[in-house]
Every structure is written in C-alpha cells, then in structure tokens.
Structure 1
C-alpha cells in the first residue's frame, strides 16, 4: 500500500512541487533518461545511445533534471556520470510506465475489460 498525503487537499507549495515534477516527466526523452539512470549510473554518451538522442540533447535534459533535483552527477577525470536521485520519482515513474504497458496491452486486446 502506498502512503497517502497528509492533507486531503494539497497546499499551494506542495501542489506547485507536484506540478513541477510532472512537467519534468512530461517529455518522453526525459522519461527514458530517468528510467535508464534508475537502473545504473551512466555517462552522457551512454545515455544518448540508450535513449536514441544526441549527446547534446541528453546534456540539455540532464541540466533540467539536475536543476529539478531529480539527477545527481559526479566527475571522474574529464567524465561526468549521472544517476537518478529521488526514490519517490522512481516509484512514480515505475507506476506510470506500468500504466503505459497496461494501456498498450488493452489496445492490443490483451485486457478483456478494455482497460
């Protein structure tokens, strides 16, 4: 069972933080980047290969994700390695991707209820 928020209606600050998090997850490339980073620490080039984007595009997404506090980095010589840093977002993303698989399964006729 997942914990519920303390208040039945979020206050403005918490609603803003939640909306900001959803904005960060509203881009398919950022979803792919975050999911890859929840699996293991990666470099920009490794991420670019995995998500099918240019290194420059991945770097721009990583900068936004870092500013949002969803990704951390460490330097090793001239290389930077990134990792996802928020367990709450990991659970949110896992649930959302599970939902996406459910929806696509229903579209292909796997779900008798049509969900």
Structure 2
C-alpha cells in the first residue's frame, strides 16, 4: 500500500486510479442521486449542508433575490467568488440550488424552500 497515511482528499481518487484500484467517490450528502433517502437521512443531509455559516448566508442572499451570479452572491456574503463557488457546487449537488446559464455567466436560484424556511427560523431565534 503506497499511501497508508494519505488523507482521503482530492488526490485520493487519482492515486487509487494510478495504482490500478477502483475507488468510489464519496458524496458529502450520503448516497448516490438515484437511491431514495429515508426521512431521517434526508434531514441529516440537509442539516449537514446547512452546517456551514457561509452556506447559511448564501441561502439568505438567494432568498431575497430571484437569481444571482456568483459575483453578486460573493458581494452579498462577503467572501471571495472562488470560495462561494465551492459552496454553491456542494449546494447544487445536494439539489438546494439550480443554475441557469446566460451568456458567459451562471445564475443561481434557490430551489429548496424548506431549507430557506429552516434558515430563516433559525436566524429569528437568535
């Protein structure tokens, strides 16, 4: 085993492919897109995605506007566009946001109203 203490990060799949071993890609929300989740697994996946303060700010920014670009979301959140893009990719894989391409820019729209309501209620309680 050439990499016994290597973390399972971005390069782990590439190292496994180089060594001739197949490795399944672990998704942060649990199972593949085709496998239905039970109620508790669905709630866990949603809360896991929302456990990041930047993603909560993104949900609040998208809730107030119909569609926003990455740069507009980055300005609203106060983070760099590259950081916001990484968070949006995870939210897109969890089907919380959808994208629409207009020319060279990509617009993001919030699709999970339940997540938005959950975030608003959590913010109200503080």
What TM-score results when the alignment is normalised by the length of structure 2?
0.68
Post-superposition offset of 1:87 = 1.4
Residue number among 72, 87, 109 corresponding to 2:113 in the alignment: 87
Specify every segment of 5 or more residues in structure 2 that has no aligned partner in the other structure, as ranges: 1-36
Residue number among 72, 79, 92 corresponding to 1:53 in the alignment: 79
Q: How do residues 1-115 of structure 1 correspond to structure 2 at under 5 angstroms? A: 13-40=38-65, 41-100=67-126
C-alpha RMSD over aligned residues? 1.1
CA shift digits 1:4-40 (9 cap, x unpaired): xxxxxxxx81111101100111100000011101111
CA shift digits 1:39-90 (9 cap, x unpaired): 1111101111111111000000000000001011100000000011111112
What TM-score results when the alignment is normalised by the length of structure 1?
0.74
Specify every segment of 5 or more residues in structure 1 that has no aligned partner in the other structure, as ranges: 1-11, 101-115
- Would you say how many aligned residue pairs link Structure 1 and Structure 2? 89
Aligned-partner SS, 2:95: coil
Structure 1 runs of 4+ with >6 Å offset = none
User: What is the match of residue 4 of structure 2?
Assistant: none
Aligned-partner SS, 1:69: coil
Aligned-partner SS, 2:38: helix
